[in-house]
Structure 1
Amino acid sequence: MTTIELAEPGSMHALILDQLDEDQAQDIVSIPLAGKSSMADHMVIASGRSTRQVAAMAQKLAERLKREGHGSSRIEGLPAADWVLIDAGDVVIHLFRPEVRSFYNLERMWGFGEDAPATAGGQG
Structure 2
Amino acid sequence: MESKELVNLAAQACDEKRANDIVVLDMSDVSLIADYFLICEGSNERQVQAIARELKQQADEHGIDVKRMEGFDQARWILVDLNGVVCHIFHKDERHYYNLERLWGDADTVQIEGLGS
Q: Quick check: 1:72 aligned with 2:57?
A: no
Give the structure with the higher percent strand. Answer: 2
| Counterpart position of 1:98 | 92
Q: The residue matched to 2:102 in structure 1 has which SS?
A: helix
- Encode CA deviations 1:20-77: one digit per residue, 9 max, x unaligned: 1111000000000011111110000000010000011101111210111112341000
Aligned mates of 1:36, 1:65 — CA distance in 2: 25
| Counterpart position of 2:104 | 110
Q: Quick check: 1:83 aligned with 2:77?
A: yes
| Counterpart position of 2:24 | 30
Q: Quick check: which has more Rg, 1 or 2?
A: 1
Q: The residue matched to 2:96 in structure 1 has which SS?
A: helix
Q: 2:49 aligns with which of 55, 62, 82?
A: 55
With normalisation by structure 1, the TM-score equals 0.80
| Counterpart position of 1:117 | none
Give unpaired runs (5+ residues) of structure 1: 1-6, 112-119
Percent identity for Structure 1 against Structure 2: 36
With normalisation by structure 2, the TM-score equals 0.84
Cα RMSD for the two superposed structures: 1.7
Aligned mates of 2:63, 2:47 — CA distance in 1: 24
Q: CA deviation at 1:121?
A: 5.3
Aligned mates of 1:110, 1:21 — CA distance in 2: 22
Q: Which has the higher contact order (CA 8 A, sep 6+)?
A: 2
Q: CA deviation at 1:88?
A: 0.5
Give unpaired runs (5+ residues) of structure 2: 109-117
Equivalent residues, number: 106
